[in-house]
Each structure stands twice: as structure tokens, then as C-alpha cells.
Amino acid sequence: MTTLIRNGTVATARETRAADVLIEGERIVEVRAGIQAPAGATILDASGMYVMPGGIDVHTHLDMPMGEIRSSDDFETGTRAAAFGGTTCIVDYATQARGARMRDAFDAWRRMAEGKAAIDYGFHMIVTGLAGGGLADMDEIVREGVTSFKLFMAYPRSLMVDDGTIFRVMERAARNGALVCMHAENGLVIDVLVERALAEGKTAPAYHALTRPPLAEAEAVHRSVAIAEMAGAAVYIVHVSSRDALDEIRRARDRGAAVFAETCPQYLLLSVDDLERPDFEGAKYVLTPPLRPREHQAALWTGLRDGDLQVAATDHCPFRFADQKALGRGDFTKIPNGGPGIENRLQLLWHYGVNQGRLSVNRFVDLVSTAPARLFGLYPNKGEIAAGSDADVVIWDPAIEQTVGVATGHMRVDYSLYEGFQVKGAARTVLSRGEVIVNAGRFLGRAGRGRFQRRAPLGSS
């Protein structure tokens, strides 16, 4: 199958230029102005539009088990919604059950995705302990193409690992070329604050945020960076939510430490005030780390623009309001943490970033596609518009105006974090490995066409 995208403006992380894009089968074969259409080629007219590499969301939780419940989007509904929004590849988090082998989690998450995912996908491995050959398991998992591990400094009762484990995992990651993703919050201090709040009868959703102060995040960022430096490893701080955490990241990068970081639209656009919404609606905004006072947002935008934050991901982890968030009525600690966003990332970053003059088009492409591809071993197959790259392409129409919300969205959840937000700019046509999977608001892909991506170790792209 041959496709020619004509008359568009190709935007990559480096440059913006008028050029056509020729695709044969699953790959881009040529990018230049004035390509003649080969006989029989499908022509896509991109006049007035940008032609960009498909979005890569390196922080998702599809079908994620959490106690008795699961996140409400599975690999079918979540990747379909992602495609509508212009995302053509995700890296989801598989969780090692405590005391079990990492291989079991890897196999389980592959089974969850196979036959369901509509776009390509990879996995990070959440490490919950090293008993029973965990370090050797890490090597095996890297050989399988899972080249990043996540560690939690929060949730002492379920996911947190101690500093010694962090050090060991980082040392091993430095040896086998993996990147350690860190959930940086001081879980032990937070647990004391939570216990105290509950004892004082403070049970409303807002206490989720008040018991997880920015300094708990900043302290953990500082500690994880110090441990990474002692281990000679790189560290990637996930879902940075506060100015305080970003300040730690900047200081570390300024002295040359191998520290990378992401933030997510919710921390750029929502605030702790949303947790105060009446009728328990604040529960919709219970995310971890929590939403912060508005004044943190400007610092995060600056971080994205100046490069201290390299990636914009979503942390898509949806739970229905009606029956899942509702589990925490009367006790904020029982509200499942997380919110939906996999579909909205590009349009929000575009509207509030590019349209409002905070980000250039090229910086936008870097944040949502190229930088995540490079950091997580997908580049240059993904994250690039160039001969030889996968034809994961978004034809982006800067003129489309949309109202974000449940009525216009495709995520399997009964609320939107951004209900009523008016945005301009959206994916008109989305190609995944050369196949048009979304066009003019219609889904043309199919469940199960997405492929597992064996990712390369750090430093290979």
C-alpha cells in the first residue's frame, strides 16, 4: 500500500517545512517537497495542516488492577481513544506482584494487550521487590525489550521500595542500559499525615492533596537523584506536579546529573481547587501526586519550554465516578487515585501551549513524541518524520475547534477532567504504520492491530 501526504507542513522536533511524505507499506520512504504520486497511491491532502510524528504516551495504566477494581479503560478502549487524540504508541506500566517474578507480570500484561490494542505499545516494569532473583529478572526483562523500570517511594503498604532497593535497581539499570522511572513522594511521612487527618475526621477528597505536600515530592526527587548519582544511573521522574520538585530537578541537571522528567496536562491546567468541588465531585480530581495550587503551573510550563522537563505524558488511569471513585465517600484514602486523559494530551498541549505562545510547534512535537521516543528506546522507528521511520503520522488541523468532555470523547469513563474546555487544534487523520486508523472523527482501525514494541536500551538512539 502506497500513500502520499501532500501539501502539508511537516513539523518535527527540529524543523518546520513544506514537504510531502511518501509512505510504502508500514514505513515512510521519502520526505521532500514536490513528490510525484506513484500510480495507485492513496493521496491525503494536508493543505493548511501540520504533518507530525504520532504522539507517544509513555505513562498509561490500562486495565490496571487496583485492589478489587481495575482502571476503566482496557487496551482496546484506551488505545482507540488514544488514536482519536493523535497518539499512536503508548508505554504502559506492568506491575510485578509482591514476591512474584517480573516475567509473570510481563506475560500477564502482554496477554492483556494482545488482540486488543489498536496502536503499538510497550511496557515499563514496576518493581515491588528483589527477593527471589529480582536483579537477574531485570536483565531478562530488558532482553525482552522492556528497558525501563518504575519504582515507588510512596504507598508503603503496597508498592514502596526502600532506599537500598532503589540503589540496587539503579546500579543494575546502569549496567543493563535501562532507565529507572521514579514515583517520587515521601510515602512514610505522607502516611503519618493521612493517619492524623483521618483521626481528626478530615475525610473529604481535598485532604488527599493536603496530606501530600509539595515538599514530600521535592524531598523524594532530591533523594532519588542522589541515589542515582551514587549508583551511576540515570533517573526519570514521572508526573512532576510541583514547582518544588522541578527546582530539585533543575538543580540536579545544572550540575550535570543524568536526570529526566515528565509532567502531565492535569498539573498544567487543573489545581487543588478542583478537589473542593461540591457533591463529592472533588473525588474526580484525586490523582497522585495531587493537584497543586495554581501558582505551580507557570513553573511547569517554563520547565517544558526550557527543557528541564522533557516529556508530556498523561498518567492516564481512569476510574468511573459513579461506582469506582464512589468507594471513597466518607474516606478519601479509599478513592482510587488517577484520572482519564489519554485522548486529550495533544489537543491540550497544543491549545494551551502552542496557541497561547508558551511552546513552539517544534517543542510541542518534541514533548509529545520525539523526546519520549528517544528516552524510551523507540527512536528512530517512532517519534520522527523521516525515511525509514514507521509511518505513525498525525495530520494535525490547527483550525478544528472542540469542546472537551464526555459527549465528544471516546475514553471508557463517565467524566472528563477537562469538561467544557474549549480548544482549537486536533488530529484530523491518524496513521499507524501506514494504515489510516482515524479520519475526520471516524475510527477506521481495529482492536488487535497494535504491536508490542521491543524497546532498545538507553543510549542507543
Specify which residues 176 forms β-bridges with: none
Q: Which of 23, 161, 190, 287 binds ligand URP (CB under 6 A)?
A: 287
Look at the chain and count its residues: 461
Q: Which of 338, 383, 434, 445 binds ligand URP (CB under 6 A)?
A: 338
Helix, strand, or coil (residue 166):
helix
Site track 308-327 with ligand URP (rule: CB under 6 A), x = hit: -------x-x----------
Shortest distance (Å) from residue 224 CB to ligand URP = 14
Measured at the CA of 267, the angle between CA 265 and CA 332, to 5 degrees, comes to: 120
Q: Does 212 bind ligand URP (CB under 6 A)?
A: no
Shortest distance (Å) from residue 420 CB to ligand URP = 22
Gap between the Cα atoms of 265 and 164, Å rounded? 33
Shortest distance (Å) from residue 425 CB to ligand URP = 26
Give residues in contact with Zn ion (CB under 5 A).
183, 315
420: alpha, beta or left, given left = phi > 0 and alpha = psi -120 to 50?
Answer: left
- Report the residue number, 80 or 150, with the smaller CB distance to ligand URP: 150
Q: Does 288 bind ligand URP (CB under 6 A)?
A: yes
Do the Cβ atoms of 43 and 50 come closer than 8 Å?
no
Shortest distance (Å) from residue 315 CB to Zn ion = 4
Helix, strand, or coil (residue 327):
helix
In sequence order, what are the residues at sequence separation of 6 or more whose Cβ sits closer than 8 angstroms to the Cβ of residue 254?
Answer: none
Do the Cβ atoms of 48 and 18 come closer than 8 Å?
no
Q: Does 61 bind ligand URP (CB under 6 A)?
A: yes
Q: Does 217 bind ligand URP (CB under 6 A)?
A: no
Shortest distance (Å) from residue 58 CB to Zn ion = 10
- Report the residue number, 61 or 351, with the smaller CB distance to ligand URP: 61
Q: Does 183 bind ligand URP (CB under 6 A)?
A: yes
**Signed CA dihedral, 185, 190, 194, 200: sign only:** negative
Q: Does 124 bind ligand URP (CB under 6 A)?
A: no
Distances (CA, A) of 342 to 78, 349, 412: 7, 12, 11
- Report the residue number, 121 or 364, with the smaller CB distance to ligand URP: 121
Q: Does 208 bind ligand URP (CB under 6 A)?
A: no
Gap between the Cα atoms of 176 and 460, Å rounded? 12
Shortest distance (Å) from residue 223 CB to Zn ion = 16
11: alpha, beta or left, given left = phi > 0 and alpha = psi -120 to 50?
Answer: beta
Gap between the Cα atoms of 249 and 259, Å rounded? 7
Shortest distance (Å) from residue 33 CB to ligand URP = 43
The interface partner of residue 337, options being Zn ion, ligand URP, none and the CB cut-off 5 to 8 Å by kind, is ligand URP
Do the Cβ atoms of 245 and 218 come closer than 8 Å?
yes
- Total chain residues near ligand URP (CB under 6 A): 9
Shortest distance (Å) from residue 160 CB to ligand URP = 11
Q: Does 172 bind ligand URP (CB under 6 A)?
A: no
Q: How would you list the strands of the sheet with 2-6, edge to edge? A: 27-32, 20-24, 2-6, 42-45
Binding site for ligand URP (CB under 6 A): 61, 183, 239, 287-288, 315, 317, 337-338
